[in-house]
Structure 1
Amino acid sequence: MSITTDENPSATPLTVPTPQRKRRIPGWARGLLWAVGVIAILSTASYLTGVNTLTSTNTAQTALRLALPILLAALGGLWAERAGVINIGLEGMMILGTWGAAWGAYYGGVWAGLGAAMLFGALGGLLHAIATVTFNVNHIVSGVAINLLGLGVAKYLATLIFEPLSNNPRQSPPVPTFDTYSATFLSNWLSRLEAQQRVGISDAAGLINGLVTKVSPLAMIAILLVPVSYYVLWRTRFGLRLRSCGENPVAAESLGVNVYLYRYIGVLFSGALAGMGGASLVLLAGGGGYLENQTGGRGYIGLAAMIFGNWRPGGLLGGAALFGYADGLRLSGGGTAVLALLYGAVLLLAVIVVVQLIRRRWVAAALGVVGAAVLYWIYWANDDLPSELTPYTAHFVTLIVLAVASQRLRPPKADGARYRRGEGD
């Protein structure tokens, strides 16, 4: 930028340097760096503790299967809350999806089951939208009501439809599940690398192998929905309008956006995704039918994953992977593996403490030291975790992660706020 003075217009212009904006690392690159860092920490923890389960193919396969319902519920929460509607009712919509998946798959096959699950989940979303968008009911109250209603409706329908078929009102007869596919050549190569037990290389091979072996079409669809959701919400005119309803609905209305319509669309799609998450519990290997209380609170964990991800698709993918991995590790290795994961958490906290010291954030560094000391004491004082505690590993991880992430959260400004058409006139 050049500037000349009025007294001497012909003078040589003064050049004022334009401030350079720092280039931000692209989101995909940050995600890749985080993935490399996590693999490095897990590899180190596996080597130091001697627990190979931390990075085994079986653990990765189990983690992927358990992360899917959480991921889909989190995506459902993202669509609703970006439109300005808090969706506590994800759990109830997932429950409806589990029943719909079993009913549809029993009579029409797996794809019919997936469609029925999305339909029943969307019906739960429709009820939530009618209550919150049309009648301005408090979003939390409506969400809790949807959870209770979903549980009651699923019980009633299971008694009505499934009891004559299975002689059990709490479960359906066996239903077909999705076939699985493997990248055979890549999987065989990774299996050989894993068997060589090289530090770092074999650990990475085991984790990647679990993601390319015995993968279902539903898993592929769920993972593909992450970039699709990002593109639609952040790179299209439709997504801009929907997000404007969650940031400032009055301003959106002044620009001609039908806030009611976009909020209905967001909540309906939210319910359909939650129903798809319920279907993943029924139609994947290890499921094979509806079972009462099958969701086990995964709708709430999905909501926590969305918050952990700061209402962004890439972030919630990381949150779902974290919770799914914690639960999968519990099933694959039991209490010993969970203790080894605590050792990995100590290593991660040590890295965080160093970073905070470099940034001269003394309080954060001190808290990191205290947290690392507590986790290491638990690891050192126990040979195995009590079997009564290990089923709640994912829930403990949820609480810890939300406590750590709470300082950097930025929800949509109008999320949960009441809105009436014309109130800004």
Structure 2
Amino acid sequence: MSSATVAKPQAQRPARGGRTFSLPVLLLIIAGVLVLTSIVRLITGADGITSTGQMSTALRLAVPIGLAGLGGLWSERSGVVNIGLEGMMILGTWFGAWAGYQWGPWVGVVFGIIGGALGALLHAIATVTFNVNHIVSGVALNILALGATRYLSKFTFANTTEGSSKQSPPIDSLGTFDVPGLSSWLDTLNQKHWFLISDLAGLIGGLVTDLSPLTVIAVALVPVTWWVLWRTAFGLRLRSCGENPVAAESLGVNVYKYKYIAVIISGGFAGLGGAFLSIVASNVYLDGQTAGRGYIGLAAMIFGNWMPGGLALGAGLFGYTDSLNLRGGTVNVHALILLIAILLVIGAAYLVWRKRYVPGVVTAVIGVLMFVWYATTNEVPRQVVTATPYVVTLLVLSLSAQSLRMPKADGLPYRKGQGK
């Protein structure tokens, strides 16, 4: 069976509802947002919104979200909805800390992946073999993972030095590094506060400063995922299971096998994100450490239209908003209110140009209200800063929901031979 044969049914179906932005157009949009951000920085004086430190923190916070999103991408491209990403991340944090404390951080990373994969195996057995509703299975896994790790912590960490029933002992660091020469030069350029140039320097500098080896691996997994799923026969067969499993089966694809593989890989990615939290982001396991990042990773995947590149942009956006909470965010968030207001006005003009008058008017009204909020205040309450990542998650999903196309058979029950 050739890969072209499997691809044929999918090629004949129009991709309704999908985004049509080409790469040059997408890069132009990103460049435009960066120019607007630079203008807002000059108007408000909030230099921290594009500082090297801000971008470096945003990258570190985006990695676990992106890894969870990659996990969701693998699972849902095979047709299995994975609400259980949060539970798999929780298992990754605990297993990573447990093994990392005893045998070193790299062993902890491996065990974090194994922990997430074990949770995914339970999800695969429930959804693929027994046809349990995917949402029910995912929620049950989240509850099970939370209870299991709290129970295990009482026996493993409670009696250890510097540990407790809710916290592991410290774990050795994987270390960090900068790109020699480039990091310091970009940081110096960023501190000049020049229009656009310093903002670009801050953005790029954040990607090459204070890096963990695990961060580099996580970033590399994005293009690796794209290549495997869109440039190999294995990926083509896996995606066919999420689009039309009956047609895939008729062409000789073992749908059960590919769904199991995809869901287990999905759990491995989520577990790696959990291990990143307990070993890199902080060198201890803490009860409640994931803080909903599995769900935000799922939101990043949806925002990215089930594509690795869009997912990475979504994870970066959520990581950036989360970083505002850690680096004096009240002033920076106040400046971003102005940026959002400008973007909303531009979006309203675009909607009116497309003759979508009602959404255009609503968007314009919201933009005006944001302008009024910015003009009548000097800073935002700390509570707003804390809630920013979650508010952004809801806003992004609500605004992008009309232009998304999920895999056609995502979440639908499947039984071998059902097409006969």
What TM-score do you get using the length of structure 2 for normalisation? 0.92
Q: Who is 1:88 aligned against?
A: 83
Q: Who is 1:386 aligned against?
A: 381
Q: Who is 1:7 aligned against?
A: none
Q: Tell which structure's C-alpha radius of gyration is larger.
A: 1
Deviations 1:58-115 (A, max 9, x none): 1101100110110000000000000000000000000000001111211121111110
One-letter code of the match for 1:252?
A
- The 1-side partners of 2:325 and 2:383 are apart by 12
The alpha-carbon deviation at position 279 of structure 1 amounts to 1.1
- The 1-side partners of 2:345 and 2:182 are apart by 35
Aligned pair partner of 1:417 in 378, 397, 412? 412
Moved more, 46-55 or 355-364: 355-364
Deviations 1:118-153 (A, max 9, x none): 000000000000000000000000000000011011
CA contact (8 A) 1:95 1:295 kept: yes
One-letter code of the match for 1:179?
G
CA contact (8 A) 1:330 1:337 kept: no
1:47 aligns to 2:42 (yes or no): yes
One-letter code of the match for 1:120?
G
Alignment of 1:2-401 (within 5 A): 28-165=23-160, 166-284=162-280, 286-401=281-396
CA contact (8 A) 2:113 2:267 kept: yes
What TM-score do you get using the length of structure 1 for normalisation? 0.91
- The 1-side partners of 2:28 and 2:99 are apart by 41
The alpha-carbon deviation at position 28 of structure 1 amounts to 4.6
CA contact (8 A) 1:330 1:338 kept: no
Deviations 1:288-327 (A, max 9, x none): 0100000000000000000001100011111001000011
- The 1-side partners of 2:21 and 2:227 are apart by 14
- The 1-side partners of 2:178 and 2:29 are apart by 26
Q: Who is 2:402 aligned against?
A: 407
Deviations 1:256-286 (A, max 9, x none): 11110000001000000000111111121x4
Moved more, 309-318 or 195-204: 195-204
Deviations 1:381-423 (A, max 9, x none): 3222222232111000000000100101100111000011011
One-letter code of the match for 2:178?
S
Q: Who is 1:12 aligned against?
A: none
One-letter code of the match for 1:340?
A
CA contact (8 A) 1:86 1:415 kept: yes
The alpha-carbon deviation at position 352 of structure 1 amounts to 2.1
The alpha-carbon deviation at position 374 of structure 1 amounts to 2.0
CA contact (8 A) 2:96 2:110 kept: yes
Q: What number of residue pairs does the alignment pair up? A: 401
The alpha-carbon deviation at position 30 of structure 1 amounts to 4.3
What is the DSSP-based 3-state SS (H/G/I as helix, E as strand, rest coil) of the residue aligned with 1:296?
Answer: coil
Deviations 1:320-360 (A, max 9, x none): 01000011122212222111111111122232233334434
One-letter code of the match for 1:370?
V
The alpha-carbon deviation at position 245 of structure 1 amounts to 0.6
Q: CA 1:208–1:202 in 2, change beyond 3 Å: closer, same or farther?
A: same
- The 2-side partners of 1:181 and 1:39 are apart by 27
Q: CA 1:104–1:27 in 2, change beyond 3 Å: closer, same or farther?
A: farther
- The 2-side partners of 1:378 and 1:399 are apart by 20
CA contact (8 A) 2:81 2:411 kept: yes
The alpha-carbon deviation at position 203 of structure 1 amounts to 1.5
One-letter code of the match for 2:168?
S
CA contact (8 A) 1:71 1:316 kept: yes
The gaps in structure 2 that reach 5 residues or longer are 1-18
One-letter code of the match for 2:310?
G
What fraction of aligned residue pairs are identical, expressed as a percent? 53
Moved more, 239-248 or 206-215: 206-215
CA contact (8 A) 1:73 1:303 kept: yes
- The 2-side partners of 1:375 and 1:348 are apart by 11
The alpha-carbon deviation at position 27 of structure 1 amounts to 5.3
One-letter code of the match for 1:229?
T
The alpha-carbon deviation at position 195 of structure 1 amounts to 2.1
Q: CA 1:167–1:209 in 2, change beyond 3 Å: closer, same or farther?
A: closer
Q: CA 1:423–1:25 in 2, change beyond 3 Å: closer, same or farther?
A: closer
Moved more, 127-136 or 174-183: 174-183
- The 1-side partners of 2:166 and 2:98 are apart by 13
- The 2-side partners of 1:294 and 1:357 are apart by 44
- The 2-side partners of 1:122 and 1:81 are apart by 16
CA RMSD, 1 decimal: 1.6
One-letter code of the match for 2:328?
G
CA contact (8 A) 1:53 1:329 kept: no
One-letter code of the match for 1:115?
V
- The 2-side partners of 1:140 and 1:359 are apart by 36
The gaps in structure 1 that reach 5 residues or longer are 1-23
